[in-house]
Amino acid sequence: MDQVVKIPPVDRPGFAHHARALLVLGLPLIGSNLAQMGLHVTDTIMLGWYGVPELAAVVLGSSFFFFLFILGSGFSYALMGRISSAMGAGDETQVRRDARMGLWLSLIFACAVIPIMAVSDPILRALGQEPELARLAQDYLRVAMWGMVPALTIAVLKAYLSAMERTQVVLWVTLWGVALNIGLNWVLIFGNLGAPEMGVRGAALASVLVQCSTASLLLIYAARTPALRRFHLLQRFWRPDWEAFFAVARLGLPIGLTSLFEAGLFQASALMMGWIGMVELAAHGIALELASLMFMVHMGLSNAATVRAGRAYGAGDRQRLRDGAKVALVMSGLFGVVTIAAFVGLPGPLIGLFLDHANPESAEIIAFGSRLLAVAAIFQLFDAAQVMALGLLRGVHDTRVPMYVAAGSYWLIGVPTSYLLAFTLGLGGVGLWLGLVVGLACVGVAMIIRFWRGPWLHPAPQVA
């Protein structure tokens, strides 16, 4: 799979063909990503109605959970590229081997990080958070941590089904999860229908129940649907396949670390925003939710680009790889322009969706959050470029160099710049977000250059 086989030239499909194929695959993925974000958005909205301290605690706790989840999800992204390439090469046996070991790796990782969430209070206090806020965040995490196993299982199954171009079922199952989460939040956070009023613990319990339900439905579909039964996904699941295990791990760990470096940039921004104040942290959480919602569209297109790039790479079709990449980048950039217009033109109404306007602190949160959205508009195109380039690089199994680029861009440039602008130069939360722009710009430009100059598009000259 590391060698691109030369194939005879074929008629070149045009822009419309690639765009249509990308959208057929990508729109359900975009919908499922937005729906997945909807789980977090509904938590944020409903806890915003419940109280500002609880909202700030869940912003902090969910960031902690996501920080760990994103590292473990690297195995699922590795699977998406490997399975797509195996399907492009017609190797169905490799599909089964990789998928099983991806599940193994994800389950092992989930069991390893659950204890970290159980003792998050002293960790968060050591990172400078207020004791009461850290305690509330740990209350949330001690329930939410049990959702790590089903959450990573969902990630693997979504990657498997996406690589099989079965993305619609992912969308419908995720939408079911959002509806279930809203109902469970209403019951468990506020104590409706005779249930106890659980606050942040209720939001966490609702998330765990939704994750278990979603994982079960996807697993049943992947294992039992007639068109996929020939892959025997769960047959002799207990049996190790060390070659596939280490192959997925070698690709997945750099992907997880790359994502961790990016997530760490935003996690560091949440921690530093916590140093500034609770209102600022709440506004940061809402603005970040909105930016993340828009990011999910780019992520859906990126995932579709991974699958299509993997298929072209496995088949040895460089021209299809090149043309498909151009279309994916253009489409992601166009959506970035739309997002910029929304963030600049409607910041107040967007922030206000997350708040109870009777709360006296709501006006202050809206004002500060609107300033953050103006900065978020600046980094939209850079964010679109970096996630799309990463998706294309994963399709051609290039994960190690992007990891180094992300580490340097985010942590040697982005985080120090955020601290410098926010605290040394006194720009506060806005300066903190401007540092995010710098980090994203560096990684976006570097990843685009990496893909277009790589050997997957420019074969080495043959020696006579």
**pLDDT at residue 396, rounded to an integer:** 92
Residue 353 maps to a domain? yes
pLDDT band at 462 (very low <50, low <70, confident <90, very high): low
Specify whether the CB–CB gap between 231 and 99 falls below 8 A: yes
- pLDDT tens profile 129-165: 888 888 888 999 999 999 999 999 999 999 999 999 8
Residue 22 maps to a domain? no
Average pLDDT, the chain: 87
3-state secondary structure of 172: helix
Give the ranges where 130-277 is alpha helix by DSSP (H): 131-144, 148-163, 167-188, 200-224, 242-276
pLDDT band at 3 (very low <50, low <70, confident <90, very high): very low
State which residues form the domain around 403: 28-452
- pLDDT tens profile 344-363: 888 888 888 877 777 777 88
Residue 10 maps to a domain? no
- Taking residues 206-213, report their average pLDDT: 93
Residue 368 maps to a domain? yes
Question: Which residues contact residue 396 at a Cβ distance below 8 angstroms, ignoring those fewer than 6 apart?
Answer: 81, 309, 310, 313, 321, 454, 456
7-11, 289-293, 305-309: the lowest-pLDDT one? 7-11
Say whether pLDDT at 450 is over 90. yes
Residue 326 maps to a domain? yes
Residue 47 maps to a domain? yes
Specify whether the CB–CB gap between 287 and 353 falls below 8 A: no
- pLDDT tens profile 68-118: 898 899 999 999 999 999 898 888 888 889 999 999 999 999 999 999 999
pTM, to two decimals: 0.80
Q: Which residue, among 404, 410, 407, 389, has the nearest Cα to 454 in the 3D structure?
A: 389
Long-range contacts formed by 342-349: CB under 8 A, 24+ apart: 342/294, 343/290, 343/291, 343/373, 343/374, 343/376, 343/377, 343/380, 344/373, 344/374, 344/377, 347/373, 347/374
pLDDT band at 297 (very low <50, low <70, confident <90, very high): confident
| Between residues 421 and 50, the one the model is more confident about | 421
- Taking residues 303-330, report their average pLDDT: 90
pLDDT band at 464 (very low <50, low <70, confident <90, very high): very low
Residue 19 maps to a domain? no
Residue 9 maps to a domain? no
CA distance 6 to 316: 6
pLDDT band at 460 (very low <50, low <70, confident <90, very high): low
The domain tally of the chain equals: 1
Say whether pLDDT at 13 is over 80. no
